[in-house]
C-alpha cells in the first residue's frame, strides 16, 4: 500500500485520491462511517472518533491519522478500549511518517484508521 500526496481534505493511496475519511483494514480501504460519533460534535468542535464507530481492533498497533493539523479528536473511551485490548494506539498527524508506513509486520497486518487531511 502506497500513501502518496495529501492535501487539505484529500489523501492519495495507491494512486487513488479520496476526499473523505477512510479506514484501512488489512489492505482494504473503506469510507469511515462517522454517523455514530456525530452526536459528540458540539462537545469537541469536530466529529470525534468514538467507541461507537467500526474500529478495526484486530491488530497489535492501530494508527489513527488525525488530519494534516492533528485536529481529529479521539475520545477517551477509544483510548481505554485500546488499552483493554492491549492494542498500541498511535495518534499522529496524517503527514507523519509513522502513519504513512502503516506496517505492523506480516503477522500483524496494518489496520489504520485515517482522518482526512484537514
- For 19-49, write each residue's pLDDT tens digit: 778 888 877 888 889 999 999 999 999 899 9
Q: What residues form DSSP beta bridges with 65?
A: 92, 114
Q: How many CB atoms lie within 10 A of CB 67?
A: 22
Q: What is the pLDDT of residue 102?
A: 44
Q: Which residues contact 62 (CB under 8 A, 6 or more apart)?
A: 55, 56, 82, 87, 88, 89, 90, 111, 112, 113
Q: What is the mean pLDDT of the chain?
A: 78
pLDDT, tens digit (0-9, with 9 covering 90-100), for 48-91: 999 999 999 888 888 888 877 788 899 999 999 999 999 999 89
Q: What is the pLDDT of residue 65?
A: 84
Q: How many CB atoms lie within 10 A of CB 51?
A: 15
Q: pTM for the complete prediction?
A: 0.77
Which domains can be identified in the chain, with CATH numbers? 21-114 (3.40.1230.10)
Q: In angstroms, how far is CA 29 from the centroid of its own chain?
A: 11
Amino acid at each position: 500500500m502506497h500513501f502518496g500526496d495529501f492535501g487539505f481534505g484529500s489523501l492519495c493511496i495507491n494512486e487513488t485520491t479520496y476526499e473523505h475519511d477512510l479506514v484501512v483494514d488489512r489492505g482494504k480501504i473503506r469510507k469511515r462511517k462517522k454517523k455514530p460519533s456525530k452526536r459528540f460534535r458540539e462537545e469537541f468542535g469536530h466529529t470525534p472518533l468514538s467507541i461507537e464507530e467500526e474500529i478495526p481492533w484486530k491488530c497489535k498497533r492501530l494508527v489513527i491519522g488525525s488530519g494534516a493539523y492533528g485536529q481529529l479528536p479521539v475520545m477517551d473511551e477509544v483510548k481505554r478500549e485500546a488499552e483493554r485490548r492491549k492494542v498500541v494506539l498511535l495518534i499522529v498527524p496524517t503527514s507523519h511518517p509513522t502513519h504513512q508506513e502503516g506496517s505492523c509486520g506480516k503477522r500483524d497486518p496494518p489496520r489504520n484508521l485515517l482522518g482526512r487531511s484537514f
